A = this chain, B = another copy of it.
């Protein structure tokens, strides 16, 4: 605790980088009172160093060469807010090699290359802080790694992509189509011009990868996540789900199942009585189930410069407290000691059990329900709820139902047979149902 001032270098001056800069300045007194020393931004790197920005750069050296910042001798801690794999990966590697601890909000990089980065950090007796990589300002990494450290965690589920939650909430509350809700989200800046990464579920999958590792003590294994986006969710499904007493949310779910660890991201029907179902708009939320504590939930802003900066600065405060000390006294990157992190068997998709929601367009003719339910019964699938409404005008009828909990494989066998029925029209919707 000798250094009265720790110098922070920020790689990248986008929304998050600027947020960190602003926060360290605006809350400087508050932070110093907590840490016992100053955190001072001495350098930032930005591709266009001269660009006007909504932040005060006085007294800060602005470099156009990020690598120059990562290797800057008089910078104590590096904050990486560039995002993406390259050059963020190389910059972090270089910073660690030069003996600088790192804070990053980069979920893609950690989910795909975190094992190597954490190993390098450990070798260098340094920490990488990444609270900001999942659920923005919500301290969920800390809650799992430290707050629930006494528990064996067997499940977590989270609304961890604000874009998707905004779109689904709009569809729910306004009856909008997916396309209209997406267009609105883009207008408001909640969705990118190319929204694939968010709405396809890949961003949530990166975050889920990180949460699963720290919950179960397994290496980061992004490739093992089965991913389904929200593109195919219709306003009609949301409306029918509501009739059944459910909301549709994009969830990232990590679970110790009978067939192995389940890692999955998909639109999910959840009972509307759960608190998770009530987390709307761009908010994020994660629920964790531990064998001692039961279910613990957190919610808050999952994105935005200030909320993400809140998490980055929390990591800086942690790093400042342990600065220069033996990293073995710090919380291990993946919550478990590196030598205790164990690969776990991943459940094959077919073995994953859940209840299912099925909606079918069917010809309006006699015998439809009877044939449909007969096939389900042949596969030993119970129907928990079913809805058929009168077709309006010349349209086909819709049948929607919710099954008992069964393995995906068995449900898909039944569904294949159902699809072949002569009265079934094209668009069968199949979604998972999770009860908490």
By a beta-carbon cutoff of 8 Å, the part of chain A in contact with chain B is: 1, 19, 23-24, 26-27, 30-36, 131, 136-139, 142-143, 146-152, 217, 275, 278-279, 290-301, 306-307, 309-314, 316-318, 321-322, 325-326, 328-332, 335-337, 340
Contacts and interface: CB of A to CB of B under 8 A. Distances in A.
23 contacts: A23-B292, A32-B340, A33-B337, A36-B328, A36-B332, A137-B148, A137-B294, A137-B296, A139-B147, A142-B143, A142-B147, A143-B147, A146-B314, A147-B311, A150-B314, A275-B275, A275-B299, A292-B313, A293-B300, A293-B306, A294-B306, A295-B301, A296-B299
A293 B298 CA distance: 13
Nearest to A144: B139
B146 A326 contact: no
Given A23-B150, A139-B147, A297 B300 contact: yes
A138 B318 contact: no
Contacts of A275: 275, 278-279, 299
Nearest to A335: B34
Contacts of A329: 1, 321-322, 325, 329
Contact of A321 (B34, B147, B312, B330): B330
A76 to B, nearest CB: 16
A315 to B, nearest CB: 9
Interface-centre pick from A1, A139, A321 (highest chain B CB count, 10 A): A139
A139 B146 contact: yes
Contacts of A331: 321
Contacts of A307: 292-294
A330 B337 CA distance: 19
Nearest to A151: B310
Contacts of A296: 137-139, 298-301
Contacts of A279: 275
B321 A306 contact: no
A347 B204 CA distance: 44
Contacts of A313: 149-150, 292
Interface-centre pick from A150, A309, A312 (highest chain B CB count, 10 A): A150
A150 B31 contact: yes
A129 B301 CA distance: 28
A332 to B, nearest CB: 7
Given A290-B310, A294-B300, A325-B329, 15 more contacts: A30-B152, A31-B150, A33-B336, A33-B340, A34-B149, A34-B217, A36-B332, A131-B147, A139-B143, A149-B313, A150-B311, A150-B317, A292-B307, A292-B309, A296-B301
A371 B133 CA distance: 59
A138 B138 CA distance: 14
Given A275-B278, A328-B1, A328-B36, A146 B317 contact: yes
B137 A336 contact: no
Nearest to A289: B300
A152 B312 CA distance: 15
